[in-house]
Structure 1
Amino acid sequence: MSTLKNLKKHLKRGNVYRRADLEQWTTAVDRHLGQLVEDGTLQKLSHGLYYYPKETVFGPTPPDEAILVRSFLKDEDFLITSPNAYNSLGVGTTQLYNKRVVYNHKRHGEFELGGRRFFFHAKPKFPKKLSEEFLLVDLINNLDTLAEDKNEVMHQALDKAKLMEPKKIKRTISEYGNVRTKKLLSSIFENEHTVKIFTSKKGLC
């Protein structure tokens, strides 16, 4: 069996490969990558990143976003989101953005992978999955980047925060909020606590 055929035998459809991943099966990785791209077996996604597409009746499918990002980062610890996710909160955001955001620990910047643009933000902490509380905190963190009326969105976001389970939203604010977000959201609960104490004392008189 030729080296190229042996290399093909190890490829699995739907997988994304880095150049370094293929060196274990060939001593002429660059020449063989060129041949595999030329004959359509692999698609070049970006420098050093290749995709072996799945075939359907409609043609080859694009790579799964999570697989693409995992291969690019060489890391499992990341969170993919989009400003479009804020629309689920019901706080006045309605715009649709062609933007994918990747919170991670390694890379920062804008990268095009497989014809899709990703905005990588290196952060010390982020959750493993999206939650309503995280989306609200993230929205306020990034309020200045939104196209909507920022004052109106902020007003509705603060009202939304008051309706959330206090322990969850307070923990999320503490873990993921920037300085401004912590100040804005923490003041809500401090004010409500003061009102409750004042009301309680009046009732005892």
Structure 2
Amino acid sequence: MNIATKIASQIKQFPQGKTFGYKDLNITTDQYVTAAKALERLLKKGIIKKVANGKFYKPENTVFGELKPSEAELLKPYLFEGNTRIAYITGASLYNQMGLTRQVASKIKIASRGKRIYVQAGNIKATPVKSYVEVTNDNYRQLGFLDALKDINIISDLDPKAAVVILSNMLKEMPNKKLADTIKYALVYPPRTRALLGALLENMEKNEFIQVLKESLNPFSEYKTAISKQLSTGKNWNLV
């Protein structure tokens, strides 16, 4: 089976609306030039559509016409290399999904440890930020949670009381293993993030998890956060 036939066969198996890049095609890097020519022919036939350089999707046709992939699907090729997650959405877009803000971001932020990811795909624009630890499919939600704590003072139209409820509920939903991992990741975040996490956990009476956070902080430093007044435990963590 030649490369063009192999690629066409793979794409035929893709569900409609799926986005993909060269690394999803099970080809070697020395086959990219031949693959590009094969993809160009499929583009001309309308079998696939182009999102951006090296990024494509299989269009979904309905009685109402062609449906474009969702924003999440369009971004997927940038967040994964093959089946391995390397990045996640953060910033205002994420905090909107979490319910912490009503702000709709004009640009999306994509966090990755090893890559600077820019996106210009139709109306979707994204800029890179560096994640604090290596991103995996198991930890990206926890890293997004810690990002929210880190950025709590700059989240637009934040309701402090609602924020405490939302963040506490997210912590409650974490199994103990995930919670322990979240604390481990927090140790490489700024001190204010660790102090706020400790205050939230103590407020929930999750005291068995807080000692390592307490020991990581300077006992003479103070940390100003937008939700300090909503936490009775804040004073124990020098939140002001």
> When the two structures are superposed, what TM-score results if normalisation uses the length of structure 1?
0.60
Amino acid at match of 1:46: A
Give the aligned residue type for 1:141: K
Residue matched to 1:18: 21
Query: What RMSD in Å do the two structures reach over aligned CA positions?
Result: 4.5
Conserved? CA contact 1:86–1:135, under 8 Å = no
Distance in 1, Cα, partners of 2:38 & 2:66:
21
Equivalent residue, structure 1, for 2:120: 112
Which residue of 2 is the match for residue 128 of structure 1? 138
Identify the residue that residue 45 of structure 2 maps to in structure 1: 39
Q: 1:145 to 1:125 in 2, by over 3 A?
A: farther
Residues 5 and 106 (structure 1 numbering): CA distance in 2 closer, same or farther, change over 3 Å? same
Equivalent runs, 1:28-177 vs 2, <5 Å: 28-63=34-69, 68-72=74-78, 73-75=80-82, 76-77=84-85, 78-80=87-89, 82-87=94-99, 93-113=101-121, 115-123=123-131, 124-125=133-134, 128=138, 137-148=146-157, 153=160, 157=163, 165=172, 172-176=182-186
For 2:130 and 2:38, the matched residues in 1 are separated by: 34
Q: Distance in 2 between matches of 1:193 and 1:26?
A: 55
Deviations 1:27-56 (A, max 9, x none): 744443333323322211111222221222
Name the count of aligned residue pairs: 187
Whole-Å separation in 2 of the counterparts to 1:56 and 1:64: 15
Cα 1:79/1:30, change in 2 over 3 Å: closer
Cα separation, 2, equivalents of 1:194 and 1:47: 52
Q: Are 2:110 and 2:126, in contact at CA under 8 Å, matched by a contact in 1?
A: yes
1:74 alignment partner AA: E
1-side partners of 2:234 and 2:157: how far apart? 31
TM-score (norm 2): 0.53
Structure 2 segments unaligned to the other structure (5+ residues): 203-213, 215-231
Query: What CA distance in whole angstroms lies between the structure 2 residues aligned with 1:27 and 1:162?
Result: 51
Q: Which amino acid aligns with 2:55?
A: L
1:32 aligns to what SS in structure 2?
helix
User: 2 CA distance for matches of 1:67 and 1:160?
Assistant: 26
Alpha carbons 1:111, 1:118 under 8 Å: kept: yes
CA contact (8 A) 1:141 1:181 kept: yes
Identity of aligned residues (%): 18
The 2-side partners of 1:28 and 1:159 are apart by: 54
Q: Displacement, 1:84?
A: 0.9
C-alpha deviation, 1:117, in angstroms: 2.4
